[in-house]
Amino acid sequence: MEMDGVLQAADAKDWVYKGEGAANLILSYTGSSPSMLGKVLRLKKILKNKSQRAPSCIVFSSHEQLLWGHIPELVESVKQDCLAQAYAVHVMSQHLGANHVDGGVRVRVSRDFLELVEKNVLSSRPAGRVNASSIDNTADAALLIADHSLFSGNPKGSSCIAVEIKAKCGFLPSSEYISEDNTIKKQVTRYKMHQHLKFYQGEVDSQYILAHISDIED
């Protein structure tokens, strides 16, 4: 689903920084448009240390087409943002129930809007995130989603806590197909090895490693 209209530079003042992850930056709406109230905007990011931006199209392998071929909307969603939305609507909603899945609405954005938003939120972003990535100002759309950190009926000004649950590969496999050269896989979890790899490549610092490895082992 896509919303009519395009967010222009004049609209940038109504969006403020809410948070971000490795792939997306989230903005909260502070304006007065009824269609935007209580919404957040998810913008794609690109890594600064990459010479090329992430590909905008996804081509399913033959095996993936066999797996997802019965969902035409998913296979036809060649753009990454479309694919994520289609997966939420046509796959996850079937397992969790449509009332518990918010696939969001695509809204078109201009380059001027993206560039001005990035400038406006720069001081609010963590330094580590700023150094690592920026908003993808070549994107032509963003995802508009309900702000699920807000609860209807709560008194104005009341606080709430939103929790994100992310599955991590923190178990030790025992497969007979793991060769002797890769026996380390039976002693150290894949998640832990991945964190050390990110540290070795300079993507995270030692404090990040200590915090995240202790989380998975607790």
88 confidence band (pLDDT: 50, 70, 90): confident
CATH of the domain at 90: 3.30.200.110
> Which residues are CB-contacts of 136 (< 8 A; sequence separation ≥ 6)?
43, 44, 45, 46, 53, 114
Does the residue 138 lie in any domain?
A: yes
Q: Which two tokens stand for residue 203?
A: 């993507």
| DSSP three-state, residue 151 | coil
Q: Are residues 73 and 127 in the same domain?
A: yes
pLDDT digits (tens, 9 = 90+) for 104-162: 899 999 999 999 999 999 999 998 889 889 999 999 999 999 998 876 555 455 666 76
Q: What's the whole-model pTM score?
A: 0.70
Q: Phi and psi (nearest 5°) for 70?
A: -80, 0
> What residues make up the domain containing 70?
2-146
* pLDDT reported for residue 37: 92
| 159 occurs within a structural domain | no
Note whether 132 and 197 are same-domain residues. no
Alpha carbon 186 to its chain centroid, in Å, reads 30
